[in-house]
Amino acid sequence: MSNAKHNDSLLRFMTCGSVDDGKSTLIGRLLFDTKSILADTLTQMDRTSKKRGLEAVDLSLLTDGLQAEREQGITIDVAYRYFSTGTRKYIIADAPGHEQYTRNMVTAASTANLAIILIDARKGVLTQTRRHSFLAHLVGIPHIVVAINKMDLVDFDQATFEKIKADYLSFAEQIGLQRAGRDIQVVPLSALTGDMLVDRGEAMNWYQGPTMLELLESAPAAHSEQNEPFRFPVQFVCRPHASDDPELHDFRGFMGRVESGEIAVGDAVTVLPNGYTSKVKAIQLGEEHLKTAITEQSVTLLLEDEIDTSRGDMIVKSDQAPEAVKQISGMVCWLSETPLSPARTYVIRHTTRESKAKVGEIEYKVDVNTLEQLPTQGLAMNDIAKINFKLAQPLMVDSYSKNRATGAFIVIDESTNNTVGAGMII
Amino acid sequence: MMTTANKTTLSHLDWLEAEAIHILREVAGQCSNPVLLFSGGKDSLCILRLAEKAFRPGRFPFPLMHIDTGHNYKEVIEFRDQRAAELGERLIVRSVEDSMKRGTVVLKSEDESRNKHQSVTLLEAIEEFGFDCCIGGARRDEEKARAKERIMSFRDEFGQWDPKNQRPELWNLYNARSHKGENIRAFPISNWTEMDVWQYIEREKLGLPSIYFAHQRDVVMRAGSIVPVNVPLASGEVINQPKAGEEIINMQVRFRTVGDITCTAPVISDADDVTKIVLETATTTITERGATRLDDQTSDASMEQRKKEGYF
């Protein structure tokens, strides 16, 4: 926070890697070099570093979260960190990288628009690199930054960097990252010394590309790239019933967030699943009247006609209506310690809508390390499988590859109310 | 009414605002009896503004509630009442003193801070009204233990937060379901930093209790912190007497956080308006809680401990 300028935009990104890759050090360094760590936090880190017999401040201490984790020396849940450069505000989802935490990686990836995948320069592309890349791909993160870290431990050697880069790009080709239009950048760095993170440093003058921070500063913010159709799931209906105010007497506002696309006053809309049609009379945000609303904006829509609409309905542009389906097929990551039971009925939440659901078929599960498709009867925590569900109520869906908001769903176990699965519609 | 021109992407404040409105509406859509915790402090004042944007011209689909330790600055209490009246929304106040009378809160000594005992009174109020969700102004950047907090955070029947038993939270598909007796804590400004809060206050021209701005105050220096002394309460009682041998200094200070008097310290400052505070926040070298919360300094894990016990 070096100045008080209002940030132009916000970028959410995630970091994938294990303790050994220097992930915590990378985040610590990013926050330290952008002056986002304040003195009292540093003092505390310094004290803890000394207690552990270290000479310099251990920047990884900054992202050490809960007591249990500190005792075990590992990160076991997604943690969120914040920093700002004055031109952009950043939200980091810091996910643990170990296999048994696949669910945490999927959670962190779900809101990220960019993923930093860490590779130890001494080790090159490992099984876990493949796993992280596959998951980032599965959850549809459009920008991948491969950070080849610990360059200081390989004498900042260009040939080492080029070899790992070539290895990675050929692997990325295999799993279809380029084909899917993902933007892949590879950068050499040392989180420990700070080279190529925020400052270029002197040790790698052979590298002409952007630094890590430059890549973060220039990556498009969420949802500004694809031209997606307008989707407006209704969250809440506002009917003030203020009979003493004639202007409010017939007020019926449909409140929600524009999940994708944009809408303008006068546009022809259809309300799903019933299929009623009308036109947008007004768009409000608090006392402000807007002419248009864009992706991710929370607004209130007023329609020309009186239409019976409630939470769970979806307002779309009449010429861009999605399908209403009673069966979905998707890649599901199982999140719960209790395995999926094909005999049970679950609840699926999709946008603001819920439906009871039963498993139709588990087609296969994916080995996240080899990416092999394996036959399976059930699903345990951290498994990823292709599943078909039969639904009691129709859902208005798009495929996840076309629309992350209307292609995503969660699975809820009604007995505990826990969120037990995360799905992406194919 | 204003009309705003076309935009193509949301600025960071617009994005944070849109996210918070979405969360408030999810609470309203998913929970049957939510309540908004409102202390008169800056974070909860931001949430009131967000609730206006989320629900007007309708009424808020929840009442406001304050858990009063009885040791709050009277400027803040007056502001709390005034703001609730302006909005025309219902304000419920439940006090730690009533819990003390009931015997459910027992202080170890008379001058023990009542701050941590708020959790008892809060749980009693949740039970009294049958609330299934409490909306609060906590932010993830405030403290380490909050960095992993969910936006919809599940609490069991004893109000306990179990860091190992939190629901995964993906995309913006929040799960605010609960069984009877259980409770959800919803945090619409989880992703805001102290700076975002001040920038939002500046942009929305929000009013604040006067003690957020630089003012003269009698204080003493105690264990490296500035401790306000001889503070008059709304009841007329005066608390925080200086200890023997302490020298009273009249200093220009302001509060960065506002809470129970016994555990909130001011900072030296001449920032007497929001613009100056934004500037000061941008150049400060001390974290918000590090500088001002006397209750967080006991150990690295002190916040986590209190959260497990049901603290907000």
Q: Cβ of A329 under 8 Å from any chain B Cβ?
A: no
Which region among A22-26, B43-47, B50-54, B161-165 has the lowest average model confidence (pLDDT)?
B161-165
The whole-angstrom separation of Cα B291 and Cα B303 is 15
Burial group, residue B297, by CB count within 10 angstroms (0-12, 13-18, 19+): middle
Q: Is the pLDDT of residue B305 over 60?
A: no
Instruction: Give the pLDDT mean for A93-104.
Output: 80
Same domain for B23 and B75, yes or no, is yes
- Kindly determine whether residue A405 and residue B21, on different chains, have CB atoms separated by under 8 Å: no
Say how many residues make up chain A.
426
Same domain for B50 and B132, yes or no, is yes
Same domain for B179 and B140, yes or no, is yes
Q: Is the pLDDT of residue A4 over 70?
A: no
Q: Which amino acid, A71?
A: E
Of A296, A409, A412, nearest to B177 by CB-CB distance is A412
Q: Is the pLDDT of residue A64 over 60?
A: no
Which residues sit opposite A423 in a β-bridge? A332, A409
Whether B43 maps to a domain, the answer reads yes
- Kindly determine whether residue A44 and residue B300, on different chains, have CB atoms separated by under 8 Å: yes
Same domain for B122 and B219, yes or no, is no
State residue A374's pLDDT score. Answer: 96
Q: What is the DSSP letter of A304?
A: S
CA–CA min distance B83, chain A (Å): 17
State residue B288's pLDDT score. Answer: 62
The whole-angstrom separation of Cα B177 and Cα A25 is 37
ipTM of this complex prediction, to 2 decimal places? 0.92
Mind listing the pLDDT tens digit for each residue in B228-237? 999 998 888 8
In this prediction, residue B18 has a pLDDT band, given cuts at 50, 70 and 90, of very high
Q: Is the pLDDT of residue B5 over 60?
A: no
Instruction: Give the pLDDT mean for A292-312.
Output: 95
Same domain for B33 and B174, yes or no, is yes
State residue B147's pLDDT score. Answer: 81
Q: Which residues in B lie closer than 8 A to residue A100 (C-beta atoms)?
A: none
Mutation site, A35, A58, A70, A82, interface B, largest B CB count within 10 A? A82
Neighbours of B165 (CB within 10 A): 12
Mind listing the pLDDT tens digit for each residue in A198-243? 999 999 999 999 999 999 999 987 655 667 899 999 999 998 876 6
Quote the pTM value.
0.91
- Kindly determine whether residue B57 and residue A349, on different chains, have CB atoms separated by under 8 Å: no
Q: Which residues in A lie closer than 8 A to residue B55 (C-beta atoms)?
A: 236, 238, 255
- Kindly determine whether residue B15 and residue A296, on different chains, have CB atoms separated by under 8 Å: yes
Of A48, A65, A221, nearest to B147 by CB-CB distance is A65
Same domain for B25 and B101, yes or no, is yes
- Kindly determine whether residue B58 and residue A106, on different chains, have CB atoms separated by under 8 Å: no
Whether B240 maps to a domain, the answer reads yes
- Kindly determine whether residue A9 and residue B301, on different chains, have CB atoms separated by under 8 Å: no
Q: Would you call A73 helix, strand, or coil by DSSP?
A: coil
The whole-angstrom separation of Cα B141 and Cα A31 is 13
State residue A225's pLDDT score. Answer: 62
Whether B202 maps to a domain, the answer reads no
Mean of per-residue pLDDT scores for chain B: 87
The whole-angstrom separation of Cα B70 and Cα B77 is 10
- Kindly determine whether residue A238 and residue B57, on different chains, have CB atoms separated by under 8 Å: yes
Q: Cβ of A227 under 8 Å from any chain B Cβ?
A: no
Neighbours of A391 (CB within 10 A): 18
In this prediction, residue A7 has a pLDDT band, given cuts at 50, 70 and 90, of low
Q: Which amino acid, B228?
A: P
Please give the class, per CATH, of domain A9-218: alpha beta
Same domain for B115 and B36, yes or no, is yes
Neighbours of A386 (CB within 10 A): 18
Q: Cβ of A348 under 8 Å from any chain B Cβ?
A: no
Mind listing the pLDDT tens digit for each residue in B255-303? 988 888 888 889 999 999 999 998 888 776 666 655 555 554 444 444 4
Which residues constitute the domain of residue B79? Answer: 12-195+303-308
Question: A148, A49 in Cβ contact below 8 A?
Answer: no
Q: Which residues in A lie closer than 8 A to residue B305 (C-beta atoms)?
A: 67
Q: Cβ of A60 under 8 Å from any chain B Cβ?
A: no
The whole-angstrom separation of Cα B12 and Cα A221 is 10
Q: Where are the beta strands (DSSP E) in A318-417?
A: 323-334, 345-350, 353-366, 373-374, 384-397, 408-413
Taking a contact as any Cβ pair under 8 Å apart, which residues of chain A between 181 and 210 contact chain B?
A: none
The per-type count for chain B, helices as H runs and strands as E runs, is 9, 13
Q: Is the pLDDT of residue B62 over 50?
A: yes
Instruction: Give the pLDDT mean for B169-195.
Output: 94
State residue A221's pLDDT score. Answer: 79
- Kindly determine whether residue B163 and residue A66, on different chains, have CB atoms separated by under 8 Å: yes
Structure-block tokens of residue A415: 């007995």
- Kindly determine whether residue B7 and residue A255, on different chains, have CB atoms separated by under 8 Å: no
User: Where do the structural domains in chain A lie, given as residue ranges?
Assistant: 9-218, 231-320, 323-425
- In the Cβ-directed half-sphere of A39, how many Cα atoms lie within 13 Å? 5
Total count of domains within chain B: 2
- Kindly determine whether residue A4 and residue B141, on different chains, have CB atoms separated by under 8 Å: no
Mean of per-residue pLDDT scores for chain A: 88
The whole-angstrom separation of Cα B228 and Cα B236 is 17
Fold of A231-320: Elongation Factor Tu (Ef-tu); domain 3 (2.40.30)
- Kindly determine whether residue A290 and residue B59, on different chains, have CB atoms separated by under 8 Å: no
Nearest CA in chain A to B275: A4
Of the candidates A423, A329, A420, A331, the one whose C-alpha atom is nearest the C-alpha of residue A380 is A420
CA–CA min distance B305, chain A (Å): 9
State residue A160's pLDDT score. Answer: 98
Mind listing the pLDDT tens digit for each residue in A122-168? 999 998 899 999 999 999 999 999 999 999 999 999 999 999 999 99
Q: Which residues in B lie closer than 8 A to residue A44 (C-beta atoms)?
A: 300
Whether B203 maps to a domain, the answer reads no
- Kindly determine whether residue B300 and residue A70, on different chains, have CB atoms separated by under 8 Å: yes
CA–CA min distance B179, chain A (Å): 8
Q: Which residues in B lie closer than 8 A to residue A337 (C-beta atoms)?
A: none
Q: Which residues in B lie closer than 8 A to residue A88 (C-beta atoms)?
A: 12
Q: Which residues in B lie closer than 8 A to residue A84 (C-beta atoms)?
A: 193, 195
Instruction: Give the pLDDT mean for B94-102.
Output: 91
Q: Which residues in B lie closer than 8 A to residue A286 (C-beta atoms)?
A: 52-53, 56
Same domain for B109 and B242, yes or no, is no
Q: Where are the beta strands (DSSP E) in A166-238?
A: 183-188, 231-238
Same domain for B64 and B164, yes or no, is yes
CA–CA min distance B177, chain A (Å): 6
Say how many residues make up chain B.
312
- Contact partners, residue A82, CB within 8 Å, separation at least 6: A36, A89, A90, A91, A92, B140, B141, B191, B193
Please give the residue that has the higher pLDDT: either A76 or B232: B232
Same domain for B117 and B249, yes or no, is no
What sign results for the dihedral spanned by CA atoms B249, B255, B257, B259?
positive
Do β-strands A408-413 and B3-4 pair in parallel, antiparallel, or remain unpaired? unpaired
Question: B17, B49 in Cβ contact below 8 A?
Answer: no
Q: Where are the beta strands (DSSP E) in A157-230?
A: 183-188
Please tell me if the domain spanning A231-320 has the same topology as the one spanning A323-425.
Answer: yes
CA–CA min distance A196, chain B (Å): 25
State residue B287's pLDDT score. Answer: 61
CA–CA min distance A277, chain B (Å): 24
**How many CB contacts within 8 angstroms connect chain A with chain B?**
208
Same domain for B168 and B241, yes or no, is no
What is the share, in percent, of chain A residues with pLDDT greater than 90?
68
Nearest CA in chain A to B190: A80
Fold of A323-425: Elongation Factor Tu (Ef-tu); domain 3 (2.40.30)
Same domain for B251 and B185, yes or no, is no
Q: Where are the beta strands (DSSP E) in A48-142?
A: 79-84, 88-94, 114-120
Q: Cβ of A404 under 8 Å from any chain B Cβ?
A: yes
Q: Which long-range contacts (CB under 8 A, 24 or more apart) does A245-252 make?
A: A248/B57, A250/A306, A251/A302, A251/B57, A252/A302, A252/A303, A252/A306
Whether B265 maps to a domain, the answer reads yes
Mind listing the pLDDT tens digit for each residue in B138-169? 999 887 777 888 999 999 888 888 776 789 99
Chain centroid to CA A61? 24
Report the phi/psi class of residue B219: left, alpha or beta, with left for phi > 0 and alpha for psi in -120 to 50: beta
CA–CA min distance A413, chain B (Å): 10
CA–CA min distance B224, chain A (Å): 13
